[in-house]
Amino acid sequence: MQKLVRLAHISDVHLANVAGFSPRHLNLKRGLGFINWQRKRRFIHLQSTVDLLLEDLRQQEFDHLAVSGDLANLGLPSELEAAATWLKQLGNPSDVSVIPGNHDIYCPLWSDQGTERWQDYMSNLPDVARQAGPSSASGFPYVRRLGDVALIGVNSAVPMPPGIASGQVGMEQLERLQMILFELADEGCFRLVMIHHPPLPGQASKRRALKDAADLQSLIADAGAELIIHGHNHRSMLAHVDGASGAIPVVGVPSFSATYGPKSGELAAYNIYEISEIPSGYSIALEQRGLKRDAEGVMCLRREKISGVMHKQN
């Protein structure tokens, strides 16, 4: 068995910095979101929890960090700027990959650069000079090569009406993603897709789901992938989707900041995936570390093999 990469995965950080709320950013959705933050969410998503888990994460061995969105709460410019500073504290753009979540692209921000502040962390690395097909106007999907592992960042975050947290990949991204997956398969890569919303139908309620999940599932079944990771639901999830070369694990991670009351919700955690090559394909081992109710500090919550033998596509 040859280890290819150890990848750490965090999501739904919801950094506690809801400042800079000026009248020009005020609309119905932000107003309701701000009320929700003041009444509830600010007591759940704590900066102290983020700092505690981050201290533990820095003590682990991993090669790359994947951040699957929702660094902000209301998508305010001040929040997005603070998140850009926080990303620099996590590491260099070559060591950290990011995609936006629905709270990052919460509402339109006219004449503001929005999540483009994070562009260095969500674009092709210099050694990936070629992608299938023409360039995308949005820059997604992007591809980052980590040796024989290719991380593909897909954006599912689009502005939605009040009370709606659903997402959409869109036809342009879907077409490019399909071409990219086939191209990387020809190169013999392990294809790791990162998206914010759960990618399969039925994995979230209608107002929180990926609108084109059925299209994405069909695409993955046709083009294949080796692992799909996501956030959004703030809980551990494990599903499988049938692909051309076998069942593909689809893994959701809890929020990186959630500190709930005694009887509800899942506490903050993060995942580390160890991807190894074996004679007949790949092996994926998962370690989850985080908080446990009625226990102090960050600890290993579980270790398991989430994928057995899969035939490589060459």
φ, ψ (nearest 5 deg) of residue 252: -105, 145
pLDDT at 130: 45
Say how far apart CA 173 and CA 279 lie, in whole Å. 33
Nearest-CA neighbor of 199 among 162, 159, 243? 243
> What are the CA-CA distances from residue 2 to residues 22, 215, 275, 284, 303 (Å)?
53, 34, 9, 12, 19
pLDDT at 134: 46
With respect to residue 312, please indicate whether it lies within any of the assigned structural domains. no
Digit-coded pLDDT (tens) for 243-262:
877 889 999 999 999 997 55
Rg for the chain, CA atoms, rounded: 19
pLDDT at 30: 87
31: CATH = 3.60.21.10
Counting as low any pLDDT under 70, the low residues of the chain are 19-24, 126-137, 261-264, 308-314
With respect to residue 313, please indicate whether it lies within any of the assigned structural domains. no
pLDDT at 133: 46
pLDDT at 22: 65
> What are the CA-CA distances from residue 27 to residues 72, 109, 202, 304 (Å)?
17, 11, 30, 45
Say how far apart CA 281 and CA 224 lie, in whole Å. 14
- Is residue 267 within 8 A of residue 273, CB to CB? The reply is no
Mean pLDDT (the chain, rounded): 90
pLDDT at 17: 77
Q: How many CB atoms lie within 10 A of CB 87?
A: 21
pLDDT at 74: 93
Structure tokens at 226: 């080796």
The DSSP code sequence of 21-54 is --GGG--HHHHHHHHHHHHTGGGTB-HHHHHHHH
* Domain encompassing residue 66: 2-307
The total number of structural domains in the chain stands at 1
pLDDT at 263: 53
Digit-coded pLDDT (tens) for 89-148:
999 999 999 999 999 999 887 788 999 999 999 999 765 544 444 445 578 999 999 999
pLDDT at 308: 65
With respect to residue 200, please indicate whether it lies within any of the assigned structural domains. yes
Task: Map tokens 């009248």 to a residue.
Answer: 23
φ, ψ (nearest 5 deg) of residue 41: -65, -30
Q: Distance between the two ends of the chain, CA-based, in angstroms? A: 19
Say how far apart CA 229 and CA 164 lie, in whole Å. 22
With respect to residue 314, please indicate whether it lies within any of the assigned structural domains. no
